Homo-oligomer: A and B are copies of this chain.
């Protein structure tokens, strides 16, 4: 039974081609029927690559594969399947990744270590990689620079809409483009999510610079979002740089010549991260939590994430209840420095509690109207220092229970 599209869905933007990047999507019949579940990408020679992966201590075989391939610094192909995560599959899982890489390397005429692999779906079932290997040659024949949306659809699991984003930036005098696609809906938490994200740019940047920019950008985007506090075993963000734009060389991520590119990459990552939250399993509302007045920025972020992960806050929002008392509870349980008597909480721009007590006679009308909307803003001021941080989440609804109480059946 197909899931209803999230009420927070956004249309797929127009993603212009990136020189040196081609995608193809097809049906390998790994788990789903009558939908695409396999994506192949091929990159021009000398494409640089950077990656950030799950912090889960039980990562899938594809994450191990990518971590081992990353130091090579170049990527020629990417293979992604949906429906089976190839996690906790022992030796069979390792064999699946190497045989998939061998097959793709044969098609792309590269080394297996220049093939990157990601899988998403059920954990603990052996991945029938023979179906992937059998399907790859036909996909290779249909590679296309305009297939970004098809690729975004081919990597979906419980996602209800495909997710893409595009930005341009200047490096020196040269305009470069960045495109990205992502999938993710549940098992979404820092660090990071059942979240796959693939980004490509025509910028020419060395791998260490790419890695530095990507790691920082992921920390400021995906690592500030949570759907359900569960951290996937498969989270993967890969950034590919073909160099086709021919910009002047830059050797250091901190070079001011990269400021515009770094800002565009950050914006693209946050765009994709928020699309994942908008597609959170069962989500009816997008929630932003801004924390100020913390003893540090990192403390502020931990407080924001404690609010974002609180089932009681999330169910209150689902019920359109401006229950700031539960926000107070969540701030207090974060374990971060907080003083009840300096704490202020607001919703939708109205401060409901100030310095440890309810604001007498505050106007509830705008708050009630705000919580009936699709985008909810929570503000917390700890009153202790200058630390600031933001987290994003969605509400917790019957839809989440429906989806996750019967995922395998």
Contacts and interface: CB of A to CB of B under 8 A. Distances in A.
A333 interface: yes
Contact of A324 (B56, B124, B187, B319): B124
A35 interface: no
Interface stretch (A99-107, A167-175, A269-277, A400-408): A400-408
Q: How many copies does the complex hold?
A: 2
Contacts of A353: 88, 124
Contacts of A231: 329, 332-333
B405 A321 contact: yes
A401 B405 contact: no
Interface string A228-248: 111111000000000000000
B57 A321 contact: no
Nearest to A323: B408
Interface stretch (A67-75, A260-268, A304-312): A304-312
Contacts of A398: 398, 401
A404 B319 contact: yes
A158 to B, nearest CB: 11
A397 B404 contact: no
B228 A333 contact: no
B88 A58 contact: no
B329 A187 contact: yes
Contacts of A233: 328-329, 332
A311 B409 contact: no
Interface in A133-189: 186-187, 189
A321 B407 contact: yes
A340 interface: yes
Given A325-B124, A329-B56, A333-B56, A312 B404 contact: yes
Contacts of A89: 357-358
A30 to B, nearest CB: 16
Q: Give me the 4 closest cross-chain CB pairs, A-B, nearest first.
A: A123-B325, A90-B357, A319-B405, A58-B332
